[in-house]
Structure 1
């Protein structure tokens, strides 16, 4: 049986700057962390817009995934989006706070319990290598979120994340708030180049916290 992580590994290799937000969206937040939409509303919008797949990546929480999956599975018909497991975990990398996205993992894996309790991990559990290892132990993939939004530049953080076992980077990301959503061209080019150089997977997502999954805010 093909796992979610195996499916996503292949899917992430096909994504481009236009894959989000109308085909896929792998960075969404709900009221289960700091978003404004319920998981059901996220799932409903995903179906209205005809997405093929999406992931709710609430901060240190998994309840949104379970609720969205239940909603989608109860919807009549077969033309429904795939709901992938997702989470966003705060971590320390080169003494810098970063966010690591997890995908395709077993949501019941005991190793993830301490990362899904509603608050950021502390101490050794917050180290990027520990977070990445936990996601791998749970059968998932680890992705460095929005690599150009941190105190240190992507040119430093991405190689450091690679050395700690990261699987990929969020290449296609909107660093401003334009409508319609657009992956920032210059930053996309930089992150894509680094991803190719280090043979990384590349993901896309709106990072929605507001009322519309098609935009970032």
Structure 2
């Protein structure tokens, strides 16, 4: 049986939130900090509304929620779901859902399936160019073995001295056409949006500039996403330039989408933008947290 989320008594205060960070990752997926450490960092950096959005995993949600409320930080549940669209991997962030929802949990479990075989195939490709032991090495960086990813391989290759940083690893070994790249078939766009919506949440297209879609492909993504019930798009995020933030602010206005904001923080050593240290959303935009005000978990002291 799914557990209903409580209705907060102070939901109206969400309208004054400016420093919301609704995209980051913990050791439950490919981040380097625990949910508890992230909550502490969010508070230290002045975050006023926070969501942990681990890849294809909600196992850290209760820990993040408990830690946030203990620190007086309002919290929205979150997840980042990998989907396949137009031959690329696209990420859909879910916010404000019931993290006990059975269909969502089962869908995410199915999406994670196949990551181990993909990782072993990646290791085999790297072995062919003389880099051995990468599967076992990547596992030493994994908090959740079901979510072994390219990032874990990258961290191992840096530690082993093959590259200077994770960005160099991706360029040389882990992007399409390189020795360690292996495609994985992720969830369908419609399934991901449906899981989020049926669990009571809102779906958001994550960091749209990263996909390098043509205008036609991007239009197809947005319109199909909306047809399935998707409601938001990330405008300000750690991987967007100032010009890209302006572009996707206009996209949000053009398609009447809610705007989201999130650092996509993974690690103090690796991330371009620290948790909560983002530019603000334009006042012309409708923040996604306004449509989710009844889904915010508020600390007792609020």
Query: TM-score range with shorter-chain normalisation?
Result: 0.7 to 0.9
Q: Please state whether the residue corresponding to 1:36 is helix, strand or coil.
A: coil
Say which SS state the counterpart of residue 211 (structure 2) adopts: coil
> Which of 81, 98, 110 in structure 1 is aligned with 2:102?
110
Structure 1 residues 114-129: aligned runs within 5 Å: 114-117=106-109, 119-120=111-112, 126-129=187-190
1:201 to 244, 254, 258: 258
Structure 2 residue aligned with 1:172: 236
- Higher-strand-fraction structure: 1
CA distance in 2, matches of 1:83, 1:118: 27
Name 1:49's counterpart in structure 2. Answer: 45
CA 1:118–1:66 in 2, change beyond 3 Å: closer, same or farther?
Answer: farther
Structure 1 Cα separation of the partners of residues 223 and 16 of structure 2:
22
Determine which structure has more spread, i.e. the larger CA radius of gyration: 2
Q: Secondary structure at the match of 1:69?
A: helix
Cα distance change, pair 2–197 in 1 and its aligned pair in 2 (3 A): farther
Equivalent in 50, 55, 62 of residue 59 of structure 1:
55
- CA shift, 1:109, in A, is 0.7
Q: Does structure 1 residue 82 correspond to structure 2 residue 74? A: yes
How many residue pairs end up in the alignment? Answer: 195
Query: Displacement of 1:139 after TM fit?
Result: 0.5
Q: Is the 8 A contact 2:204 2:230 kept in 1?
A: yes
Aligned partners of 2:197 and 2:229 also within 8 Å: no
**Relative to structure 1, is the Cα distance of residues 174 and 74 closer, same or farther in structure 2, using a 3 angstrom cutoff?**
closer
Distance 1:48 1:136 in 2: 32
Give the CA deviation at 1:151.
4.2
Q: Name the residue aligned to 2:193.
A: 132
In the alignment, which of 200, 210, 215 is matched to residue 267 of structure 2? Answer: 210
CA deviation string 1:32-80 (max 9, x = no partner): 00000111100111122232110000001112221122223334xxxx1
Cα gap change, 1:200/1:49 in structure 2, threshold over 3 Å: closer, same or farther?
A: same
Aligned-CA RMSD value: 3.0
Contact 1:29 1:56 in 2 (8 A): yes
Unpaired runs of 5+ in structure 2?
115-183, 269-273, 279-302
Structure with the bigger percentage of helix: 2
Secondary structure of 1:89 counterpart: strand
Gapped regions of structure 1 (runs ≥ 5) = 176-182
